Copies of this chain bind each other. A is one copy, B any other.
Amino acid sequence: MTGWEDIRAEVQARIRSGVWPLGSAIPHEEDLARDFGCARATVNRALRALAAQGVLERRRKGGTRVLAVPVRKATVSIPVIRAEVEATGRRYSHQIIWQATGQENTLHLETLHLADDKPYAHEVRVLHLAVLPPLPDLTAISINEWLVTTVSYATGEIAFSAAAADAGQARALWVPTGTPLFVITRETRNAAAQVITKVLLAHAPGYHLRTTM
């Protein structure tokens, strides 16, 4: 009857109804546990979930407060491109358009990802070889997929934007220069905060990145 999901819903209801206004502090876990007639751990689970959603802000000693500015948070999946293509029933392939070694032991790679032999996404990547194991044969497995399965879990930043196709992207994706492209840029670092790779991925027109709230 009083699962942590129920408590999450009840807390949300109290915020929405104004019992706990935006920006205000809410009672401590122990008080809430007594109110709801459950263990503190159950309250804790509910409040942690709300904090992860962006509804609450929690601080040791500072207590829990309702965020003054509600923020919707959505989780987006960044799949391996091969899986993304095959999920739509198409055949995946990729071509290395160009590669060169750069300064500081880096490898620059320009790759075209295809779905049923039609351009799907154009990728420009810089790899920092010093912080990576020896590379595999990149014609057999895309660098994208190899990194995900090989490198230990890493942190990084992602940015999504729209940009006009430059000459290289236009040629690779069979579109006129200036065509709007959905662009994902990523910078990935290993556990020691060393940059592993930087990527700029431009998707062919029609691409949508979908998620649910």
Give chain A's interface residues, CB within 8 Å of chain B: 12-13, 16, 22, 54-55, 69-80, 83, 148-164, 178-183, 188, 203, 205, 207-213
Which residue of chain B lies nearest to A203 when distances are taken between CB atoms in the complex? Answer: B162
Which residue of chain B lies nearest to A157 when distances are taken between CB atoms in the complex? Answer: B212
A13: chain B residues within 8 A (beta carbon): 152
A158: chain B residues within 8 A (beta carbon): 74, 210-213
**24 A/B residue pairs, CB under 8 Å, sorted by A:** A12-B153, A13-B152, A16-B153, A69-B80, A71-B83, A72-B78, A72-B148, A73-B76, A76-B76, A155-B212, A157-B210, A159-B211, A160-B210, A161-B162, A162-B162, A162-B183, A162-B203, A162-B205, A164-B179, A164-B180, A178-B178, A179-B180, A180-B180, A180-B181
Cα–Cα, bound, A75→B75 (Å): 4
Question: Does A160 lie within 8 Å of B182, measured CB to CB?
Answer: yes
Question: Does B76 lie within 8 Å of A12, measured CB to CB?
Answer: no
A160: chain B residues within 8 A (beta carbon): 76, 160, 182, 208-210
Question: Does A77 lie within 8 Å of B72, measured CB to CB?
Answer: yes
Q: Which 6 A-B pairs have the closest CB atoms?
A: A180-B180, A162-B162, A72-B78, A162-B182, A69-B83, A162-B180
Residue in A159, A160, A209 with the greatest tally of chain B CB atoms within 10 Å: A160
Cα–Cα, bound, A178→B179 (Å): 8
Residue in A70, A203, A207 with the greatest tally of chain B CB atoms within 10 Å: A70
Cα–Cα, bound, A148→B15 (Å): 12
Q: Residue A161 contacts which of B76, B77, B182 (CB distance < 8 angstroms)?
A: B182
Given contacts A71-B79, A74-B75, 14 further A-B contacts (CB under 8 A): A54-B77, A55-B153, A69-B80, A71-B80, A72-B79, A73-B76, A75-B75, A76-B76, A78-B213, A155-B213, A159-B211, A160-B160, A161-B182, A162-B180
